[in-house]
Copies of this chain bind each other. A is one copy, B any other.
Amino acid sequence: MKRTIHATVWNEYRHELRHEAIRAIYPEGIHGAIAGFLRDAGIQAGTATLAEPEHGLTQEVLDKTDVLLWWGHMAHQEVEDEVVQRVYKRVMEGMGLIVLHSGHASKIFRKLCGTDSELLRWREANEKEILWVMDPSHPIVQGVPDHIILPHEEMYGETFIIPKPDELVFVSWFEGGEVFRSGLTYTRGRGKIFYFRPGHETFPTFLNKDIQQVIINAVRWAAPAAQPPQITLGQIKEPLMPIVGMTENKLSELYGEDYTLKG
Interface residues of A (CB under 8 A from B): 2, 18-19, 21, 73-74, 76-77, 92, 94, 102, 105, 111-116, 118-127, 130, 132-137, 139, 141-147, 149, 157-159, 161, 163-164, 166-168, 171-179, 181, 186-192, 202, 224-246, 248-249, 251, 254-255, 258-259, 261-263
Contacts and interface: CB of A to CB of B under 8 A. Distances in A.
A135 B94 CA distance: 12
Contacts of A240: 130, 175-177
A202 B124 contact: no
A189 B73 CA distance: 22
Given A125-B242, A164-B166, A231 B190 contact: no
B225 A142 contact: yes
Contacts of A229: 133, 136, 141-142, 144-146, 159
Nearest to A114: B114
A172 B179 contact: yes
Given A116-B189, A176-B241, A178-B132, A232 B125 contact: no
Contacts of A242: 125
A109 to B, nearest CB: 9
Contacts of A233: 119-121, 159
A263 B166 CA distance: 24
A134 B163 contact: no
Contact of A146 (B74, B111, B231, B255): B231
Contact of A105 (B224, B232, B261): B261
A251 B126 CA distance: 10
Nearest to A238: B149
